[in-house]
Amino acid sequence: MSARAADPRQAVERLLATDISEITPFRGALFAVTTADGRRIVAKRAPGPGAHAAEAAGLRWLAEPGDVPLPAVYAHDEQWLLIERVDPGAPTAEAARAFGAGLAGLHLRGAAAFGSPPPGGPAEAWIGLTGMRNIEEPDWPTFYARHRVAPYVRAARDSGAFGVEQAALFDRVCDNLDALTGPAEPPARLHGDAWSGNVHWSDGAHGRVWLLDPAAHGGHRETDLAMLRLFGAPMLEHILDAYEQAASDAGAPLADGWTDRVGLHQLFPLLVHTVLFGGGYAGQALAAARSALALR
């Protein structure tokens, strides 16, 4: 990467053809930018090839129907993504319920297939700091086993996080997915990484819950709901209650027993965390696998 491409000020000025009045690093590879024409922007450095093409496509796809607010995409290239900056605010029950209802509507917009990337997005995508493949499959169990569980179990086994017998536990989950997943559903328009850190509460003129940093694809709507539970999103009961009501009102209630399947849907993010960070995440992933097998 050239020095010019690595410099956030030069990158923003090049991509937007405007001057910068202020730029401040605020977390990791993120920079808060104010342009001379008054736009307030977050500049993100890419974790790897194709990451920003995938995120930009996901932001646009999820934002298109207007069910849930997402930051506008201003520009991107291989090194940088420039998106709208939204000031944080305090969680409220009203915003939580609006978000829950909006998320239900967003999921029901659907997707072309299980594993389909957002329109214009690459198959080789990202979740956080690691790669993720969006490959279309005929049903969710096939997609989840091949592209969300097995690759990360292999990586964790190769790194020593899992032994042979532990890895075999995940194989048993994949072999039994048809019996563990509940009634078949059509593919949902999924955020894909809806943990609490990507649920952004705002106030003031916005006063809503925004979704950030998507790993968007065609998936199972219970996956986003399980992700919301993973690290405890604020006002979660308000979110889920409004979600269930809106889904039922739309004629697509959540299937019976969906709360029992939370561990199954948390397998993927827990495996990703095991690969990236190791530590206690391996034990949590194994516990989630055991909880999934107990559904039989």
Residue 77 is assigned to a structural domain of this protein:
no
pLDDT digits (tens, 9 = 90+) for 114-143: 999 999 999 999 999 999 999 999 999 999
Residue 13 is assigned to a structural domain of this protein:
no
Residue 61 is assigned to a structural domain of this protein:
no
What are the structure tokens assigned to 213, written together?
């940093």
Residue 81 is assigned to a structural domain of this protein:
no
Report d(CA 223, CA 211) in Å as an integer: 15
Q: What is the pTM of this model?
A: 0.94
Q: How confident is the model at residue 171 (pLDDT cuts 50, 70, 90)?
A: very high
Active site residues: 193
**Is it the case that residue 179 has pLDDT exceeding 90?**
yes
Tokens 């960070």 sit on residue: 277
**Is it the case that residue 5 has pLDDT exceeding 60?**
no
Is the separation of the CB atoms in 58 and 224 below 8 Å? no
Q: Give CA separation, 241 vs 10, 99, 186, in Å.
A: 46, 11, 22
In which domain, by residue range, is 166 found? Answer: 87-296
Residue 152 is assigned to a structural domain of this protein:
yes
The CATH code of the domain that includes 296 is: 3.90.1200.10
Bin 192: left if φ > 0, else alpha if -120 < ψ < 50, else beta: left
Residue 22 is assigned to a structural domain of this protein:
no
Of the chain, the end-to-end C-alpha distance in Å amounts to 51
Edge to edge, what strands does the sheet with 30-35 contain?
20-27, 30-35, 40-45, 80-84, 73-76
Q: How many domains does the chain have?
A: 1
Residue 272 is assigned to a structural domain of this protein:
yes
| Res 61: pLDDT | 98
